[in-house]
Amino acid sequence: MRNLKTIRLIGIIVIAAGIMLFSGCATAPRKTAYPYEYPSIAATKPDAPTAALVDFTDKREDRSQDAIFSETPVTLLSKALNAELLAGGVFSKIEIGSQSAGGTRWLIEGELQDLSWAVPNHGAIVKTAFWTSFLTGGIGGLAYGATETPVFGRAKLLIRVVDRTSGKALVSEVLESVYEERMAKLKCDTPNTRGRVMTMALKQVLLKVTPLIAKTLASSGSAP
């Protein structure tokens, strides 16, 4: 009888732990840094133009992820965009957060319209994990959690590059990307997973921005 009670207790603990993992509750209270893969910047081109980069307007509808991370998505975007443009040799220097940087002809601004994470049928996955664990004493739930599911990161932004000498926007485009990764269901809803798929989607978008701005500057006669 005592062994039976012990087995049931272990099963209950396994079920509870599994549900916490599936629902994203088993996370540390400490906030997580966005794991963005910043490019190395060996040296900037001294003859390249300079620019001012102001914080993008946050137009996201869903901001529920923000409580998990140690910096705002807009701050992440500014740092990442600055690094990608400098690494790509588009500008020699970028003043972040300033519209009045002396001698800067180009102003970079825009909107962050989406930066999110998603697992298809996430609610159904959590329910299935619970009932499978409940009916099998936890063993079935762990086996179910080891199977894979797609995890998506989405990023969408409006990028504008304004020629301050004329006040005209030479670039005004909406760019977006969806990044997909497959992983075990038990790991699909952790802060690290959310951060990774979202920043990978953001990087894919920013890798489109660099050649777009470089081409625009070249056509305007401002590229080195």
**Mean per-residue pLDDT over the chain, rounded:** 79
- In this prediction, residue 201 carries a pLDDT of 97
* Domain ranges for the chain: 47-120+149-220
Query: Minimum mean pLDDT among 72-81, 111-120, 198-207: which range?
Result: 111-120
Q: How far is it, in rounded angstroms, from Cα 140 to Cα 1?
A: 23
- The second-level CATH assignment, the architecture, of 47-120+149-220 is 3-Layer(aba) Sandwich (3.40)
Mean pLDDT over residues 140-163, rounded?
Answer: 79
- How many Cβ atoms sit within 10 Å of the Cβ of residue 63? 12
Q: Which pTM value belongs to this model? A: 0.76
* 58 pLDDT more than 70: yes
pLDDT at residue 129, rounded to an integer: 55
174 contacts: CB under 8 Å, gap ≥ 6: 113, 156, 157, 158, 159
Whether pLDDT at 122 is above 50: yes
| Distance from C-alpha of 95 to C-alpha of 78, rounded to nearest angstrom | 10
Residue range 158-168: mean pLDDT, rounded = 93
Please give the average per-residue pLDDT across 121-144, as a whole number.
54
* Residue 102 to residue 201: CA distance in whole angstroms: 33
Find the mean pLDDT for residues 99-118.
85
Average pLDDT over residues 155-176: 94
